[in-house]
Structure 1
Amino acid sequence: MQNKRGISQAFARPLSGLEIRPASVFDVFAMSQVLTASVRGLCQAGHGCDPQRIDAWTAAMAPGQIRAWFGGAGRYWLAERNGQAAAVGGLDPDGTVTLLYVAPSAAGQGTGSALLAHLEAELHSAGHSEGRLSATRAALGFCRKHGWRQVEAPAASCCLPCIPMRKPLG
């Protein structure tokens, strides 16, 4: 191991039954289920339980829409806990975390934290010294807890106001 982070990760106990792997087009149905369940169950601060906002947000998360993502430059990961889809993450080549959604059944178990750490490591290994993301109000505390800092005023994104954030990597 060449750095402290690598050493701590090597000796850290892995989360029981958690596997993070690259997603493929064959995962679109599982990804859609995680994404829509997360929006409906965990993102109330973002959509205020407004059915129109929820429908607008989840429309882009249908399996057919997700299948189209795999034709672009983004990369996606699926976190599975004991063989069940638990979280979805995504990155753009420019160093932006585009997706980080956890299924309600996996919330509070470290799944989101493990997936975010994985995405940050992927960005760092791709040569990025800084990561970027746009957090919803529901995710703001989680992102801050993991060292992300707000850099601009909220902007309209992801069908609702999102908070641009950055984090130094490495």
Structure 2
Amino acid sequence: MAYTIRPFLSGDAAALAALTLDAIRNIGARAYSPEQVEVWASGHTSAQRFTQRAKAGHHIYVMADDADMPVAYALLEPDGHLDMLYRSPTHAGRGLASQLLAHAEEQAHRLGVTRLYTEASELARTPFERAGYAVTERRDFELRGTRIHNYAMEKVLREKPLI
């Protein structure tokens, strides 16, 4: 199967919301308890937030399959915060997260961003580390009464050589 990375289209919002919940509930369950998964998922139910984020100037990069259906995405804020990186569980093991991280980095260079940072889940930590992000701290916190954790991570972007 061939995949392409393209910008977010308003018609993608519902598919991205469903993909996010599917990823949290099916992939997140590998590292988090059922209670943690549900409290995490409860914050990701709105499809309209994708359209709102795009209108606010956030960059959403969609990985689409042969039928142009979203199977993964990354959301980059103008200040270099990579807020979301999710992929459909049915498209696991195909390097989609790595491709999206590389694309987001290229776009960050284009936008003049010099530092990327994120809060990665236990399972997202590995693809971020492979992409050159370093853990700055483990964050243990409470989300709607449930203890959970993630990792603050960052990557300083080097200037691209002029060739």
TM-score normalized by the length of structure 1:
0.79
* CA separation of 1:103 and 1:58: change in aligned 2, threshold 3 A: farther
Query: Equivalents in 1 of 2:143, 2:116: separation in Å?
Result: 18
* Superimposed CA distance per residue, residues 5-32 of structure 1 (whole angstroms, 9 cap, x where no aligned partner): xxxxxxxxxxx51111110222101111
Task: Please point out which of 48, 64, 80 is paired with 1:64.
Answer: 48
The two structures, once aligned, show a CA RMSD in angstroms of 2.2
Q: What SS class does the counterpart of residue 152 from structure 1 fall into?
A: strand
Aligned residues of 1:38 and 1:102 also touching (Cα < 8 A): yes
The size of the alignment, in residue pairs, is: 154
Percent of residue pairs identical: 21
Gaps of 5+ in 2: 159-163
Query: Equivalents in 1 of 2:14, 2:142: separation in Å?
Result: 24
Task: Please point out which of 47, 55, 58 is paired with 1:74.
Answer: 58
Query: Equivalents in 2 of 1:161, 1:142: separation in Å?
Result: 17
TM-score normalized by the length of structure 2:
0.82
Q: What SS class does the counterpart of residue 21 from structure 1 fall into?
A: strand
* CA separation of 1:109 and 1:158: change in aligned 2, threshold 3 A: farther
What residue is the counterpart of 2:161 in the other structure?
A: none
What residue is the counterpart of 1:88 in the other structure?
A: 73
* CA separation of 1:56 and 1:164: change in aligned 2, threshold 3 A: closer
Gaps of 5+ in 1: 1-15
How far is 1:64 from its partner? 3.0
Amino acid across the alignment from 1:21:
R
